[in-house]
Amino acid sequence: MTQTQNYELINLDEYVQTGEGGTAISYTHKTKNTLAKLYKPGFEAERAKAEFLTARTVYELGVPTPEPYRLVTDGERFGAEYELIRNKRSFTRIISEEPERLQEISLTFADWARKLHSMPADTKRLRSYKQALTQFYQEKNLVPESFKQRALAFLETVPEPETLLHGDLQIGNIITDGDRTLWIDVGEFSYGSPEWDLAMVWIMCHRMSAQRADVLFHVTPETMKAHWDIFYPAYMGTTDPQVLGSYIKRLMPFYAFKVPYVYDMAFHTALPEESFQRILQMI
């Protein structure tokens, strides 16, 4: 069976483009309550399939997320069709449209992140995030050898608690229609140290250019940093600067060794060479 044989062909004339992210474009069906998410050209069918299967697992485990229906293709791009949540807005969209709600939304996001990390993971159906990154560094030649060896040495020290992780935790990946709040883009769901998720929030709040923050989130980098300043103490349950500062230092290796993996996932290419020294300076 070929890798594309499980995909059902759709006619995009029956859909309207309603969104675009870093790796995919979404299309809402004109008459049905469905949303097709197609990866941009260059992303393999197998990646879309893996995301879909993980999304099915997440949904079946009872995590609040739109139901994944089927694998689809327009003949060139690959993705999946999901339950359409009408009148939904992402938390970032709410903040961009109603900036006075930044405090409320950031605190709500912290609450949802804590709840997610309190859920036990099904380790038989979800992958270990530590193992995923270890495999990335062992199998892909996308980083300098010295960086690779430091990454693998660090990964050996990282514990693997059965904590449920989003993998791409950020306020663009949680939506609400006013009644339901749901996690989206759940293809990176896994289990492991919550620092992997917290590092992702930190990256999105401190390492995005103004152009990318505007394209992805419709906000400024300053707003993202303000979001972090509200979210982080709420998630940690303390405003003690010593505790918060100490944990930030703990997060930095998770940030450093997650970045090349995320960059490959988002852009399908290696991180620019000049970035590695700057990243290591953060550790």
Of 142, 139, 210, 167, the closest CA to residue 65 belongs to: 167
d(CA 202, CA 205): 5
**Mutual angle of helices 210-217 and 221-236, in 10-degree steps:** 70
- Percent of the chain beyond pLDDT 70? 99
- Supply the mean pLDDT for the chain: 95
124 and 172 co-located in one domain: yes
Q: Is residue 155 part of a domain?
A: yes
Whether residues 55 and 78 fall in one domain: yes
Structurally, how many domains does the chain consist of? 2
- Does one domain contain both 116 and 99? yes
Residue 2 has pLDDT above 90, yes or no: no
**Within a domain: residue 3?**
no
Q: In this structure, are 44 and 150 located in the same domain? A: no
**Global pTM?**
0.92
Show which of 59, 83, 107 is a domain's final residue: 83
DSSP 90: E
What confidence category does residue 180 fall into, taking pLDDT thresholds of 50, 70 and 90? very high
pLDDT of residue 4: 65
Domain that holds residue 20: 8-83
What single letter denotes the amino acid at residue 135? Q
Please give the helix or strand (H or E) that residue 34 lies within, else none: strand 34-39
pLDDT value, residue 92 = 96
Same structural domain, 108 and 175: yes
Q: Residues 59-115: pLDDT tens digits?
A: 999 999 999 999 999 999 999 999 999 999 999 999 999 999 999 999 999 999 999
Instruction: Name which of 154, 155, 137 is nearest 145 in CA terms.
Output: 137
In this structure, the answer to whether residues 38 and 145 fall within a common structural domain is: no
Does residue 128 share a domain with residue 32? no
From 83, 114, 129, the end of a domain falls on: 83
On whether residue 126 sits in a domain, the answer given is: yes
Say yes or no: 124 and 258 in one domain: yes
Nearest to 126 by CA among 48, 184, 191, 193: 191
Residues 177 and 217 in one domain: yes
Please check whether residues 214 and 253 belong to one and the same domain: yes
**Which of 83, 115, 146 is the endpoint of a domain?**
83
Among 3, 22, 4, which residue's Cα sits nearest to residue 74? 4
